[in-house]
Amino acid sequence: MGNDFLLLTAEAAAEGGSAFAAWWARYGSMLLEGIWGTLYMTVASTFLGYLFGLPMGVILTITDKDGLKPNAAVYKVLDIIANIVRSVPFLILLILIRPFTKVLVGQSYGTTAVIVPLTIAAVPFIARMVESSLKEVDAGVIEAARSMGASTFQIVWKVLLVEGRISLIVNATIAMGTILGYSAMAGAVGGGGLGDIAIRYGYKRYQFDIMIVTVALLIALFQIMQTVGMFIAGSLDRRKNASTTE
């Protein structure tokens, strides 16, 4: 009886392995391409988002009424731009700027094209997070730097960004996770990546197995990004505490 059970179990496992091998042979390359497309969109958009969003967040911080160089006009303009862009749902923004995307990259669909609306959506979001991180820096440290004759640029570069680095990294991790979610939404309009696979196969063709796998892969990517980001922030925090103790 025991031998029969083991034999049946082995046969079932072999059949399951064969079925999975056949399934992977059919969809594996597509899913790997989807993972690459999703990572490409997310990393590129995060990089470009910080390229523009970091300076915007710094300017918002220093031009605020309690900032290093208060300027109500500059702050108000950037504040309004950030609020307007952030209030537009991403799918609507994606469709709205399609003509601009086509002019900029030569097409309005696909992974490269989606980077344009992803970056536009990311910039004000990142700017707000940078502003929040920099405003957490102890005012006493800033005043000490000012009393020593440090310029605004030196305070930003050597005090705000250095003292706020842990919060900046944590917020960057959150931003990357948010952009990953946006990239999946872009699949609804042919954006490429795992989101596109989930829509085309899981939703339109009722292939529930594809839907489950793409969702699982998106969750796995999100968890990896969050784990790596938090690990880096935690490492910097431990070094900071160690140097303070010494």
Q: Within 13 Å of residue 217, how many CA atoms lie on the same side as its CB?
A: 23
Token representation of residue 50: 């910080």
Asked if residue 123 has pLDDT above 80, the reply is yes
Please name the helix (run of DSSP H) or strand (run of DSSP E) that holds residue 63, with its range, or none.
helix 2-63
Q: Which of 209, 213, 211 is nearest to 199 (CA)?
A: 211
Asked if residue 118 has pLDDT above 70, the reply is yes
Fold of 30-241: MetI-like fold (1.10.3720)
Rounded distance between C-alpha atoms, residue 131 and residue 57, angstroms: 5
| DSSP for 200-236, written as a single string | IIIISS--HHHHHHHHHHHHHHHHHHHHHHHHHHHHH
- Name the 3-class secondary structure at 65: coil
Q: How confident is the model at residue 240 (pLDDT cuts 50, 70, 90)?
A: low
pLDDT of residue 124: 95
Using an 8 Å Cβ cutoff, are 70 and 64 in contact? yes
pLDDT of residue 189: 76
Using an 8 Å Cβ cutoff, are 180 and 42 in contact? yes
pLDDT of residue 15: 52
Q: Provide the mean pLDDT of the chain.
A: 86
Q: Which of 32-36, 158-162, 186-190 has the lowest mean pLDDT?
A: 186-190
Asked if residue 5 has pLDDT above 60, the reply is no
Q: How confident is the model at residue 246 (pLDDT cuts 50, 70, 90)?
A: low
Rounded distance between C-alpha atoms, residue 234 and residue 226, angstroms: 12
Q: How confident is the model at residue 66 (pLDDT cuts 50, 70, 90)?
A: confident
Asked if residue 223 has pLDDT above 90, the reply is yes
Residue appearing with tokens 């959150």: 174
pLDDT of residue 208: 87
Residue ranges in 64-138 assigned as alpha helix (H)? 72-87, 90-96, 98-105, 111-134
pLDDT of residue 111: 87
The domain limits of the chain are 30-241
pLDDT of residue 180: 93
Give residue-wise pLDDT tens across range 6-57: 444 444 445 555 777 888 888 888 999 999 999 999 999 999 999 999 999 9
